Amino acid sequence: MFQQPSNMMEGQLHPLESESEIGRMRDDELDSTTKSGSENHEAASGDDQNPRPNKKKRYHRHTQHQIQEMEAFFKECPHPDDKQRKELGRELGLEPLQVKFWFQNKRTQMKTQHERHENTQLRTENEKLRADNMRYREALSTASCPNCGGPTAVGQMSFDEHHLRLENARLREEIDRISAIAAKYVGKPVVSYPLLSSPMTPRPFEFGAQPGTGDMYGAGDLLRSISSPSEADKPIIIELAVAAMEELVRMAQMGEPLWMTSLDGTTYVLNEEEYIRTFPRGIGPKPTGFKCEASRETAVVIMNHINLVEILMDVNQWSTVFSGIVSKASTLDVLSTGIAGNYNGALQVMATEFQVPSPLVPTRESYYVRYCKQHAEGTWAVVDVSLDNIRPSPTARCRRRPSGCLIQEMPNGYSKVTWVEHVEVDDSGVHSLYKQLVSTGHAFGAQRWIATLDRQCERLASVMATNVPTGDVGVITNQDGRKSMLKLAERMVMSFCAGVSASTAHTWTTLSGTGADDVRVMTRKSVDDPGRPPGIVLSAATSFWLPVSPKRVFDFLRDENSRSEWDILSNGGVVQEMAHIANGRDTGNCVSLLRVNV
């Protein structure tokens, strides 16, 4: 063995006795910084195996050159294999066993230093929370009424203390999340607190539930096979949702070079190369054969920001408001209901089937988590991100990258909404008639989501309106009559969308035609459908091009004077508008009650 001079720099201590002695020697080495990696006990020979109580232990000290070389190698490879240890020992004049113990003790030293650093950070954060708590308590104990100068009422103090406890609980959860991430590196168990469940504030309005919403009856193979996430999956889902929220907010606020203006200057186009550079983590590479669809749209809508958040986080209201886009929706699990009586921090695992009102465009099924967060006073964000990596499915044809909306409070009850849609999809099943509509984002993109939300906000404002002019002929002014009429119109829209889309709940059969002008029929059962008797519903649909603008077609169809030209039920009769309700800025946005005089 090699005898090293006693005045050399620090070396690494390595034991050759029992495991208990190894543990004791490591503790001594870790508690003293002057011994970290400086001493090395000489390897025992065959004669040394015989126990001799009075035998004096011999130690070696590594040279400064040996330590520097092993330190440099440790930075590149902290876990060398046998071949690397032998090669390193041969270069430095050390036995492989000496090299092995030096690396073992070095790794233990680094782990302990990392643990001490993490513990110091958590201890500092804990002290800060304690100081804030004491400061709040002192402020509450000395609080006085601004009107009379007397002590604050007991009820008011109890209310403030309640909110203080909720805030402290939120801070504890944030610290636990950070420490859980750190535990991956130091091997500590994750300690979780029970999620707070607070009753939601009462809503000033309710949208009707879409038939079939809340369950996945009749859904496709993908959605039927999905169940609630396991306990082991939940921490992964939470981390994925937090990362998705950060990505969504940045995508909603960033401009060029991430978002490029389209050639016509009306929309934004995502720069995919810049996206990969900006968000390298994501949810993995794009699947083979999938196409990227990304869009962003902004609008100011006539609805309070809190009400918007409530609609987005209530699956029944959300699927009703967006009934033209959502054919089926279900909440599989609620990981968090939020804190402080609202949806801040709410997490829901959902499954949804997205649609276009045409049998020529296949629906898109998605399994994802929805996360809601308040970023500042009056600023909220709701994000969706797919969970396909947790439960891969060979039938999945659509994957949602972080998508959702950023909601900002505006004066007079308005809200500014920035919507981002970012999906990867296999669109090979889309009919050629609809290829351009889908690729430009008008079918599933942010433009359609924003346009639908804007229209529904206008419709709701007309429902709540009380200053309806009474002088106009045919205008329904009675509040209950207006609500009933608009409720009926809402059911008609949902029934139409359910009866014309390519939902996996029903199968379309081609009867006649060639190519684009095929006539397709579909039958479905009507069960518990409000306003419709139980039985079998027969639907027929076809698609074709017209050499005129969409507005001209729309005006033609809504004009009661031209209805007899295309409506078989009005053929040969006179159509008269008996009453109407305006529910939007445009004159064409209205609900009409018609009578046919044959």
pLDDT single digits (tens) 397-407: 889 999 999 99
Task: Supply the pLDDT for residue 181.
Answer: 53
Task: Supply the pLDDT for residue 410.
Answer: 92
pLDDT at 52 over 90: no
Q: Are 453 and 324 in contact (CB under 8 A)?
A: no
User: Among 367-381, 435-449, 455-469, where is mean pLDDT lowest?
Assistant: 455-469
Q: Are 407 and 438 in contact (CB under 8 A)?
A: no
Task: Supply the pLDDT for residue 91.
Answer: 86
Determine what percent of the chain is predicted with pLDDT higher than 90.
23
Q: What is the mean pLDDT of residues 99-126?
A: 90
- Higher-confidence residue: 69 or 192? 69
pTM: 0.63
522/508 Cα distance (integer angstroms): 5
pLDDT bin (cut points 50, 70, 90) of residue 454 is very high
Task: Supply the pLDDT for residue 147.
Answer: 53
The tokens describing 525, both together, are 């059962």
Q: Which amino acid is at 562?
A: S
pLDDT tens-digit series, residues 117-143:
989 989 998 888 888 888 888 777 776
Sequence-distant (6+) residues with CB within 8 A of 412 are: none
Task: Supply the pLDDT for residue 341.
Answer: 72
CA-to-CA dists, residue 347 to 312, 357, 405, 417, 596, angstroms? 12, 30, 15, 21, 51
Determine what percent of the chain is predicted with pLDDT higher than 70.
73
- Higher-confidence residue: 325 or 485? 325
Q: What is the mean pLDDT of residues 376-403?
A: 86
Task: Supply the pLDDT for residue 310.
Answer: 94
pLDDT tens-digit series, residues 169-213:
776 776 666 555 544 433 333 333 333 333 333 344 445 555 444
- Higher-confidence residue: 462 or 95? 95
- Higher-confidence residue: 410 or 222? 410
User: Among 182-191, 279-288, 325-334, where is mean pLDDT lowest?
Assistant: 182-191
pLDDT at 63 over 80: yes
Q: Which of 130-139, 149-158, 183-192, 235-244 has the highest mean pLDDT?
A: 235-244
pLDDT bin (cut points 50, 70, 90) of residue 528 is confident
Q: State the angle between helix axes of 96-141 and 64-76 in degrees (0 to 180), rounded to the nearest 10.
A: 70
115/113 Cα distance (integer angstroms): 5
E-strand ranges in 487-542 read 509-512, 519-526, 535-541
Query: What is the number of other CB atoms lying within 10 angstroms of the CB of residue 222?
Result: 22
Element (H, E) at 75: helix 64-76
Q: What is the mean pLDDT of the chain?
A: 77
pLDDT at 393 over 90: no
Element (H, E) at 482: helix 479-500
pLDDT tens-digit series, residues 539-579:
888 888 889 999 999 999 988 888 888 888 887 788 888 88
pLDDT bin (cut points 50, 70, 90) of residue 59 is low
122/178 Cα distance (integer angstroms): 9
Q: Hey, what domains does the chain have and what are their CATH numbers?
A: 1-143 (1.10.10.60), 230-464 (3.30.530.20), 479-506+515-597 (no CATH)
pLDDT bin (cut points 50, 70, 90) of residue 62 is confident
Q: What is the mean pLDDT of residues 520-547?
A: 82
Query: What is the number of other CB atoms lying within 10 angstroms of the CB of residue 27?
Result: 11
